[in-house]
Amino acid sequence: MTPAEVDFELIRASALLDSDPAAAARAAGEILKNSPGHSTASVLLATAARSLGDPAAALSLLERIAVEQPTSAVIQLELAHTYEAAGRSGESLNALRRAVEFAPDLADAWRELSRQLAAVGDSYAADRAYAHYERLTPDTPGVLLEAAAALRGGRLAAADALLRRHLQVFPADVGAVRMLGDIAARREDYALAEQLFEKCLEIAPGCSAARYDLAQLLLTQQRPALVLPLAERLLKFDPGNLAYRGLEASAYSLLGRHDRSIEILRGMLADPSAGASVWMNYGHELKAAGRQPEAIDAYRKSIAQSASAGAAYWSLANMKTYRFADADVAAIRLALQREDLRQDERIDFEFTLGKVLEDAGQFEQSFAHYAAGNALRRLSAKDKSEKNAAFIGLSRALYTRQFFAERAGWGSERDDPIFIIGLPRAGSTLLEQILASHSQVEGTRELAEITAFARTLGGAKGELDESAYLDAVAALDAAQVRALAERYLEATRVYRCGGRPRFIDKMPNNFLHLGLIQLMFPRASIIDARRHPLGCCFSCFKQHFAKGQLFTYDLQELGRYYRHYVELMDHFDAVLPGRVHRVYYEQVVAALEVSVRELLDYCGLPFEEQCLRFYENRRAVQTVSSEQVRRPIFSEGVDQWRNFEPWLGSLKDALGDVVERYPTG
């Protein structure tokens, strides 16, 4: 063969490697017959042999070539692949180190080195190697740029379609998988997002960006115990990174370690590059710790650093007790006139102005801004009323008297947990503060563990498969139920810093999992915090929740959700009479001591006077009612919804007869 013919045959043989390595080996063999010792053909033959599962034959060729070309990075990279296939991981790592030494710009070698370093537990070196790889591959494929543009424009479906087509051809493209995870997270499809970010780290264990994405997602789901090790690894690699330090602060906050979180954030503020978001997070921590004047100052500093700091304005409004000056109101109105305002910022400003106008008694205008904020928030949410109704129906069919009778004696004998369930804005924080003022009870936060168990039982790859979840609950045996209870107690131990025998889990949406809770903890206290349907629903409607609670952004869906909640609780009252203790918010306000004595008696706790002085409890409170529960009981908020009654027709229609059935005495 002429040199030109050899080159042509090499190109043809190389093209066969992925699809038909045997044919590639035959073609390489033919070249070597005509050109014995041809190094490129020898490497091709070795690569084909490795692909065909014969690393020994591949090594006999490659080791000879490596002697002839001792500084060839490409040979070392192929040697590394082959040593790994032969189970000789140490030699594979050494070959990769030689490859990047001989050719520091060989991106594939850095990526492979990162993966293998991670496999032997050298996470710091793995992260450094992957950072080298990323610096060497700055160009983003065109399809990813197009998908990113669609994301910026809020066109999630278009971006999703582009990325899925791209991944059919390039399934190991970490950038595309990350973007797909981002789309799932924006849709609040957290199980799918988590799966995608974990896939990124399987493909590229040293990818700090995917690790950060995963940590942020876990924070959103309030799973801080899993966030801390991720943050620690990120900070080991880049200790000065403010975003990573912010992750650590947020994780400590969710664990109830506000002192540590405040310390980290204060340190971050000493960095000249710390911006408005750091001041805002610092304000959140100070607010949770009850340091209201300092929190207000931090929020004001956030606003001073960013004219479009809608989240900081909303944080002030969300204190419920703060009143804006005229200049602030003018700034809010001016911000809403900006065409370049991001959608999330606009939502914050709409809710803030709604609160300002409500405080001023301008209820029609207030409602208009609340409605505008909800409409924008609603753009990224789907109406799940039918899905919720189906789940309630399936739950009622499964959880019968016979179901629980057949499983009597299952679960844990422990009565540590006190579950407060219901809907948001129904007075659950008040009940938590009352109970947490008792010497035997520790307040924690809205814990996500029961929801996580439900997803696991349902085998969720995306949204919870309710039917699969309930089938899985029905299939549990006594040992599995007890194991779940023990897992719950172990997982929640990290939140119990005070050493008290009882603790509160006030995740309101746990009402959906009351059947599972009953199986796991038949002796635990279960308290249903309930508030007038119109008062509760409208309070939800005017609350811009940071995450979750997507049913609150439309009055009709809100009404249907409340009705479904009542239907499910009515069912449990029928099949488990007296099991759930219901507390009506209005009755607590009207007769505090009577309600508190009944509540403590239900929980098997002796009466303690300090429970009536709950507002003196200085524990950290992380919900939107944090400032309200630091004041004595007040009745002004009970009927606030009546100011907006002219615009609540669709809510009333959706609620049906639950309004008339609500106790008035």
Residue with the larger pLDDT of the pair 465 and 436: 436
Classify burial at 247, counting beta carbons within 10 Å of its beta carbon; exposed 0-12, middle 13-18, buried 19 or more: buried
Tracing tokens 């065909």 back to the chain, one arrives at: 52
Q: How many helices (H) and strands (E) does the chain have?
A: 35, 5
Confidence (pTM): 0.76
- DSSP 3-state assignment of 210? helix
Identify the pLDDT of residue 469. Answer: 93
Question: What pLDDT band is residue 633 in, cutting at 50, 70 and 90?
Answer: low
Identify the pLDDT of residue 615. Answer: 85
Is pLDDT of 630 > 50?
no
Cα 127 from Cα 230, distance rounded (Å): 12
Q: Which two tokens stand for residue 19?
A: 């699809």
Q: Which two tokens stand for residue 523?
A: 């002796």
Which whole number is the average pLDDT over 118-134? Answer: 91
Cα 306 from Cα 431, distance rounded (Å): 37
Task: Name 90's Cβ contacts closer than 8 Å, sequence gap at least 6.
Answer: none
Tracing tokens 């003196």 back to the chain, one arrives at: 616
Which whole number is the average pLDDT over 574-589? Answer: 96
Q: Which two tokens stand for residue 138?
A: 């700055």
Identify the pLDDT of residue 642. Answer: 93
Q: Do residues 110 and 136 lie in contact, with contact meaning Cβ atoms separated by under 8 Å?
A: yes
Q: Do residues 17 and 9 lie in contact, with contact meaning Cβ atoms separated by under 8 Å?
A: no
Cα 17 from Cα 273, distance rounded (Å): 50
Identify the pLDDT of residue 36. Answer: 80
CB atoms inside a 10 Å sphere around CB 90: 10
- Ordered by where they begin, the domains of the chain are 3-136 (1.25.40.10), 147-325 (1.25.40.10), 390-661 (3.40.50.300)
Tracing tokens 């699809």 back to the chain, one arrives at: 19
Count the residues in the chain.
Answer: 665
Q: What is the pLDDT of residues 522-560, one digit of tens each?
A: 999 999 999 999 999 999 999 998 776 888 999 999 999
Q: Do residues 83 and 91 lie in contact, with contact meaning Cβ atoms separated by under 8 Å?
A: yes
Q: Which of 321, 395, 331 is nearest to 359 (CA)?
A: 321
Residue type, 247: L
Which whole number is the average pLDDT over 363-384? Answer: 90
Is pLDDT of 624 > 60?
no
Helix (H) or strand (E) holding 445: strand 441-445
Residue type, 393: G
How would you classify the pairing of strands 525-530 and 502-505? unpaired
Q: What is the pLDDT of residues 494-524, one digit of tens each?
A: 888 888 999 999 999 999 999 999 999 999 9
Alpha-carbon torsion angle 508, 511, 517, 522, nearest 10: 100
